[in-house]
């Protein structure tokens, strides 16, 4: 069973058939929409960090150190920053991929910043394709609408696209609809909205813009979707 759990904001867990846990953008502490308050028992196999902003790198350092086997997959600059703090990393950059026995992870471009919490350079922002159990799951990270989605749709159309819809800092519902069309996504899980006032959106407006092209799956923090 392949399962996606929405942890709130851009924070998502993917569980594979093998029982593997891939945790993306693990922002729990200080996340107003996170249901999980005690993170001490979270021990994922892999953490993917899409970019350096604090609402994405989140609790990566703490969680990754809770298990000797957790590997953080992220871009070269963020990986170096984490490595200096004792985190086990696998360095990629945009376009690169890494194969694990249970999944392949590929970083793709996002149109966004990536400055790290200490102000240092976090390289280029990314989205992530996760190839798992014969399915393609796309986490877009923080991004504007980009023609890149057409390329992804041509070669890696996702079964599920997890996409930001909050506007202000990322694309909003209208552009997310175009993204869904270009991606050829079967299903879209909206993220990165309603966490704070500047990214408030209503579900009807999101559905109206995206459902022309893909089925919209609204997940509240803590809810899961089984592929």
Taking residues 135 to 174 in sequence order and writing x for each that binds Ni ion by CB under 5 A, - otherwise, the string is -------x--------------------------------
Residues within the interface to Mn ion (CB under 5 A): 55, 142
Cβ distance to Ni ion smaller for residue 2 or 143: 143
- Residue 187's binding partner out of Mn ion, Ni ion, none, with CB under 5 to 8 Å set by partner kind: none
- Residue 167's binding partner out of Mn ion, Ni ion, none, with CB under 5 to 8 Å set by partner kind: none
d(CA 152, CA 99): 19
Number of Cβ within a 10 Å radius of residue 198: 9
Q: Does 53 bind Ni ion (CB under 5 A)?
A: yes
Cβ distance to Ni ion smaller for residue 6 or 27: 27
Window of 102-110, 134-142, 145-153, 156-164 that interacts with Ni ion by CB under 5 A: 134-142
Q: How far is the CB of 139 from Mn ion (least distance, A)?
A: 12
Q: How far is the CB of 27 from Mn ion (least distance, A)?
A: 8
- Write out the two tokens for 4: 């996606």
Q: How far is the CB of 198 from Ni ion (least distance, A)?
A: 12
Q: How far is the CB of 141 from Mn ion (least distance, A)?
A: 8
- Residue 9's binding partner out of Ni ion, Mn ion, none, with CB under 5 to 8 Å set by partner kind: none
d(CA 190, CA 206): 8
DSSP code for 201: -
Residues that bind Ni ion (CB under 5 A): 53, 142
């Amino acid at each position: 069973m392949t399962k996606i759990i929405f942890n709130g904001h851009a924070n998502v867990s993917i569980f594979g058939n093998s029982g593997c846990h891939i945790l993306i953008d693990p922002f729990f502490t200080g996340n107003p929409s996170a249901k999980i308050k005690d993170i001490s028992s979270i021990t994922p196999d892999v953490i993917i960090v899409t970019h350096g902003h604090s609402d994405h790198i989140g609790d990566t350092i703490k969680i990754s150190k809770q298990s000797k086997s957790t590997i953080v997959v992220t871009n070269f600059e963020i990986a170096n920053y984490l490595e200096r703090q004792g985190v086990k990393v696998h360095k990629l950059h945009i376009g690169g991929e890494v194969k694990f026995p249970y999944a392949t992870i590929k970083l793709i471009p996002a149109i966004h910043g990536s400055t790290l919490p200490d102000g240092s350079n976090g390289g280029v922002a990314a989205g992530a394709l996760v190839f798992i159990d014969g399915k393609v799951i796309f986490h877009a990270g923080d991004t504007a609408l980009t023609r890149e989605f057409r390329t992804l749709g041509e070669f890696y159309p996702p079964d599920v696209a997890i996409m930001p819809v909050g506007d202000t800092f990322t694309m909003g519902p209208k552009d997310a609809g175009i993204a869904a069309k270009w991606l050829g996504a079967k299903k879209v899980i909206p993220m990165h909205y309603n966490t704070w006032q500047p990214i408030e959106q209503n579900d009807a407006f999101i559905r109206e813009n995206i459902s022309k092209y893909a089925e919209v799956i609204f997940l509240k923090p803590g809810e899961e979707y089984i592929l």
